[in-house]
Structure 1
Amino acid sequence: MLTLPEPSVAPLRGGPGLRWGVLGPGGIAHDWVSTLHRNTDQRVIAVASRSMERSRAFADRHAIPHAFEGHEALLASADVDVVYVAAPHAQHRPLALAAIAAGKHVLIEKPMALDAIEAEQIAAAARAAGVFAMEAMWTRYLPQSDLIARLLADGALGDVRTVTADLGWRWEFATGDPRFDPMVGGGVMLDAGVYPLWFAHSILGSIDGVHAIGSIAPTTAEVEAVISLRSATGASASLTASATATTPGLAAVYGTTGSVLFDSSFVFPARLSVISDGREHEWVDDSGLAGRDGLAWQAAALAAYVAEGRMQSPLHSLDDSIAVLRVLDEVRRQIRSQAE
């Protein structure tokens, strides 16, 4: 009879603490700083924006002692240990490279870059500089993700044959909305779509077959995607991403002797069922964190990795980030070529 393993995650409190700087004080940065200050020992001590007024307003809102106009001043501060790049997609590469050049550890909001080539450049720079770099694929650091990894390692599901995942948030199309501008990384794949692709990669490993269909906005940014993947082992994945409809965000892993089925969105702290040996075992994240409060886990994990002397995440490496972006690049290519 299966006994569910206890997830092993970095403690939110009591572990090593770092002094953080934030580049790009937008919505995701607000949620991230809020949960860090409420739920962890990590502290944000500086924020920078191209607008001093915007930077100061964000600092006041979150009791951050230092506000800067422009990233250069923040990166020059000896008080900052690590930088969180929370700016729009197109700014991830230049800001990450600037932080690395300044000798700062860096957490880069997902997706790490606009494409795999840019991600390779970031990874190469971090390795050459000897600083820690990590993509903020925050769902990987939630307790549920460690639970699934342990089930897979223990062979509780047998040989995994199929993975499914969907994610969709409806956007109203508007001319000038950067979410629909492919020149700055607009489109559903670099937003919602990266999550199902990451989930499949985290379960199946190397992907050697990609087939995608979808639709595009008038700007040519993709707004719907249906994706079939084949892994190097012959397993498959069926994934969807949408900016035209809001979906429940469910995911599942099907093996020869067991399955994992999410009962709530797989990107947030979740409920799931594990079916093994004909029995169903329910598991619920009991951390008390919900929704984007779960962003706290990745920051605690990063602080632990830096204290251990690591240069990248053992759970979602730089090579993993690059591999996911390679698949994402191919998905976007296929969808856009269908519209030509």
Structure 2
Amino acid sequence: MMRFGILGYGGIAQRFVGDSAQVREAEITVIASRTEAKQKAAASAVKTAQIVDQYDACLSSPNVDCVYIALPHLMHKEMAMAALAQHKHVLVEKPGTLTTADWDQLCEEAKRQDCFLMEALKTPFYPSSEIVKNLIEDGAIGQVYEADVNYCYDLKDQTKPGWYIHDAKQGGALYDIGSYLYYFVLDLFPDCCEELQVQAELRNQIDVHFTCELNTRSGVRILTEGAIDRERPREALIRGTKGTLRIPYYYRAEEIILENAQGVQTIRPTLHYTDLGGEIAEVCRCVGNGWLQSPLYPQAKTREVLAFMEAIRSRFPQI
């Protein structure tokens, strides 16, 4: 049994609690929140868990094997290092850190402490990406020449005091959803060129919308877009000389729509886990096998995505 302690109890942590029920090896034993209302919500949701108001109490608990960090981005590295210092395994929400240098330090510390470390990203644990790769390799849509991948949603002026998404140091669209976009792109198209054409719209010192156009060495043009101020169907559209692949919600895809000369076919992969269930199961599997990182989502892949996001952010207008 993998005993999880949770730092923070916002929306994503609440989903983590719900999705942990999909994994019989997972148990929520401690939840730490500094907010009284969230403490009460956590106690109601997990009646067997210990609810604490200090993060250190969770990190030092003998009843915790792995710490799930669901705190604002700027706290990811600090809390992950603190967890590793207590010899706890770590699952840290995306982005794992804000820089590759910080991620390198976390990886080095995890290795030194002989602990498991993984960024919490659901996409690697959905089967859709492998199915898309196989369809492309099998020539289902001919030669791929273009891909359009986006993650755009509208906060609709939602705000609350101190909300990290509005903080210039850790907020904005790229930090919020870039991991989804660029994990998918770099996993599907590993031969991306370094030249990027980036545009960004800043508001109150954060990026509310950005686009990045790039090409692969094999000649595929890739258009990516992210936003927190506008709605667009969140999907990936891959165009080939003989057809198209459309993947709604590509980062947690439950269907793939293939259109070619044979007609339109909807492919629905078999899902063993949904939403966060796959990453929870992966932690249990890896730690149970004595592995320090996931073979399905290794630390180097997180670093690759972070480096790509750093390159994009460096091309934003001066903040």
TM-score normalized with structure 1 length:
0.82
Q: Aligned letter for 2:279?
A: Q
Q: Provide the residue aligned with 1:329 in structure 2.
A: 310
Q: Aligned letter for 1:222?
A: D
Flag the 1:180–1:142 CA change in 2: closer, same or farther, 3 A.
same
Matches for 1:1-340 after TM superposition, within 5 Å: 17-37=1-21, 39-41=22-24, 42-51=26-35, 54-151=38-135, 160-173=144-157, 177-183=163-169, 185-205=170-190, 207=192, 208-217=194-203, 219-231=204-216, 234-254=219-239, 259-262=244-247, 264-275=248-259, 278=262, 280-285=264-269, 287=271, 293-337=274-318
TM-aligned CA deviation for residue 105 of structure 1: 1.3
The answer on whether the counterparts of 1:111 and 1:194 sit within 8 Å (CA) in structure 2 is yes
Q: Deviations over 1:276-299 (max 9, x none)?
A: 67554321245497xxx5211211
Take 2:115 and 2:227, find their aligned partners in 1: how far apart are those partners?
36
Structure 1: stretches of 5+ with no match in the other structure = 1-16
Take 1:105 and 1:150, find their aligned partners in 2: how far apart are those partners?
34
Instruction: Please give the secondary structure, in 2, of the residue aligned with 1:335.
Output: coil
Take 1:288 and 1:133, find their aligned partners in 2: how far apart are those partners?
23
Take 1:157 and 1:95, find their aligned partners in 2: how far apart are those partners?
45
Flag the 1:64–1:87 CA change in 2: closer, same or farther, 3 A.
farther
The answer on whether the counterparts of 2:73 and 2:164 sit within 8 Å (CA) in structure 1 is no
Q: Deviations over 1:39-59 (max 9, x none)?
A: 221221111123566435413
The answer on whether the counterparts of 1:46 and 1:59 sit within 8 Å (CA) in structure 2 is no
Instruction: Please give the secondary structure, in 1, of the residue aligned with 2:314.
Output: helix
Flag the 1:63–1:176 CA change in 2: closer, same or farther, 3 A.
closer
The answer on whether the counterparts of 1:169 and 1:192 sit within 8 Å (CA) in structure 2 is no
Q: Deviations over 1:133-169 (max 9, x none)?
A: 1111112212323433554676766765433211111
Identity of aligned residues (%): 25
Take 1:121 and 1:254, find their aligned partners in 2: how far apart are those partners?
39
TM-aligned CA deviation for residue 171 of structure 1: 1.9
Take 1:31 and 1:202, find their aligned partners in 2: how far apart are those partners?
26
Take 1:211 and 1:333, find their aligned partners in 2: how far apart are those partners?
12
The answer on whether the counterparts of 1:220 and 1:336 sit within 8 Å (CA) in structure 2 is no
The answer on whether the counterparts of 2:72 and 2:164 sit within 8 Å (CA) in structure 1 is no
Instruction: Please give the secondary structure, in 2, of the residue aligned with 1:80.
Output: coil
Take 1:211 and 1:89, find their aligned partners in 2: how far apart are those partners?
26
TM-aligned CA deviation for residue 250 of structure 1: 1.0
Instruction: Please give the secondary structure, in 2, of the residue aligned with 1:106.
Output: strand
Take 1:112 and 1:163, find their aligned partners in 2: how far apart are those partners?
26
Instruction: Please give the secondary structure, in 2, of the residue aligned with 1:214.
Output: strand
Q: Deviations over 1:177-207 (max 9, x none)?
A: 4312112x11010112332122111111254
Q: Aligned letter for 1:43?
A: E
Deviating more after overlay: 61-70 vs 228-237: 228-237
Q: How many residues align?
A: 315
Q: Deviations over 1:55-86 (max 9, x none)?
A: 35413322242122222221222221211111
TM-score normalized with structure 2 length:
0.87
